Amino acid sequence: MEMDSYEIIKYIANSEKKSPVQVYIKGELEDIDYGKYDIQFFGSREWGVIFADYKNYLKFRMENQEKITGEKIISDRVNSAVELADILKYKARIEPGSIIREMVDIGENAVIMMGAVLNIGCSIGKNTMIDMNVVVGGRAVIGENCHIGAGTVVAGVIEPPSAQPVVIGNNVLVGANAIIIEGVKVGDGAVVAAGSAVINDVPPNTLVAGVPARFIKQVDDKTRGKSQILQELRKL
């Protein structure tokens, strides 16, 4: 379901900005009230791992510095406004190294490959494969039974809020390293050749290619054979 830009902007603006850290720590760690600092501790009396927001960890460290003999802080974001999604909720195949933010819709039996980035508010349909290093921008919509080739950029729009995101229909194949700019609509059954830059709408069941992409032909049986989408790759 396509989301409204203003809804997402309000969510980001009003969200608590967080800097989550993972801290490997050693010292005299017993008899400390970790709940007091709103942090989680897993370990023993002498060593352990802390999960916390950085500001909370700093308060903990300041008040317990005489008990801490060593630490290693690991962080991958600072003042982040949007959490990463709980990927266990999806009935999809999600490979390691993908980045999926909150408020992303992923249909059943979809496949999200290594390095893919799915931004807030985007939607991925059932049985669609998002290949390696694809970027799907905020609010972009991709239909069912599609294949989005490696390295492709599917532009999304949050700012300016008046602009429209990309909308891709069902049974669409997009070749590797294509770019589909904001506001473009790709019709059902269309094929976008690798490396294309799509700046205009693509009618259903047509093949486009080039920079900028232009109409090549109607999708025929030969083209469908070369762009076949295999359901075996989408089984869980």
Domains in the chain: ranges and CATH? 18-75 (3.30.70.250), 87-234 (2.160.10.10)
pLDDT at 236: 82
The whole-number pLDDT of residue 3 equals: 66
Q: What is the pLDDT of residue 7?
A: 86
pLDDT, residue 234, reads 80
Amino acid 164: pLDDT:
87
Question: CB within 8 A of 221, min separation 6: which ones?
Answer: none
What local confidence, expressed as pLDDT, does residue 163 receive?
80
What is the reported pLDDT for 138? 92
What is the structure's pLDDT at 4? Answer: 79
Q: What is the pTM for the complete model shown?
A: 0.86
Low-confidence ranges of the chain (pLDDT < 70): 1-3, 226-228
